[in-house]
Structure 1
Amino acid sequence: MARRPRLASARSRRRASSRRPAPPGAAFVWVPGHWHWNGDRYLWIRGHYVRRHPGWHHWRNGHWTLIDGAWRWVPGGWY
């Protein structure tokens, strides 16, 4: 049976949520925050802006996916 990622409590999610600040310029894309498993516990990685790369037009947000029967985090990236 595939293991599902552990979810943070509602209290933790409220504490970790943050407002998106204004972008530093038109060439930036917002990357939302997410929970990261460090091998011992989940840590909140805050959202932040990344500069658009020439020739790369779309940012795909990181997401959990089922691979070979186990849940894995797929980091975000340009494509």
Structure 2
Amino acid sequence: MKRQLIVRAFAGAVLLGSAAALAPAAMAQVSINIGIGVPPPAPVYEVVPPPRAGYVWAPGYWDWDDHGHKHAWKKGHWVGERPGYVYEQPRWVRASNGWVLQPERWNRGPGRGDDDDQGHGHDHDRGRGGYHCPPGHAKKGEC
């Protein structure tokens, strides 16, 4: 009986320890850009709804459907406004490995006054919750 109790306690400790060790890994984020050889089709015409206070219209765009191995249209939708930032919709760019979808992002608006920004409005690599251009991509003109 005592031995069973020790085995259960040990098994519980091992289970708890492995759960604690795996928790940070489950929260990690990975960003992978996969190039495809097929350019996106022409955009689909969508009627832009009337303005909505506190929101910005995110136009529809062609996404890549890995399961169907083809482009799939994602309809436009409203996103919450971020004061001081300008929304930039997802866009396809030609890269060395084919066509790559750049995700939507929020660029710092004009007149924000950062000397290192050089008037471009991009929030590259500043760690303030804005867009981050992956290492090496800016030099290739992919961001």
1:43 aligns with 2:72: yes
Contact (CA 8 Å) 1:3, 1:71: kept in 2 or not?
A: yes
Q: Distance in 1 between matches of 2:81 and 2:40?
A: 32
Which residue of 2 is the match for residue 31 of structure 1?
A: 58
Aligned-residue offset at 1:50: 0.9
Which of 96, 109, 116 lines up with 1:68 in the alignment? 96
Ranges of 4+ aligned residues in structure 1 off by more than 4 Å: none
Q: Quick check: which one's helix share is greater?
A: 2
Q: Which structure ranks higher in relative contact order (CA pairs < 8 Å, sequence separation ≥ 6)?
A: 1
Q: Distance in 2 between matches of 1:6 and 1:28?
A: 27
1:18 aligns with 2:46: yes
Q: Which runs of 5+ in 1 are unaligned?
A: none
Contact (CA 8 Å) 1:23, 1:49: kept in 2 or not?
A: no
State the structure with more CA Rg: 2
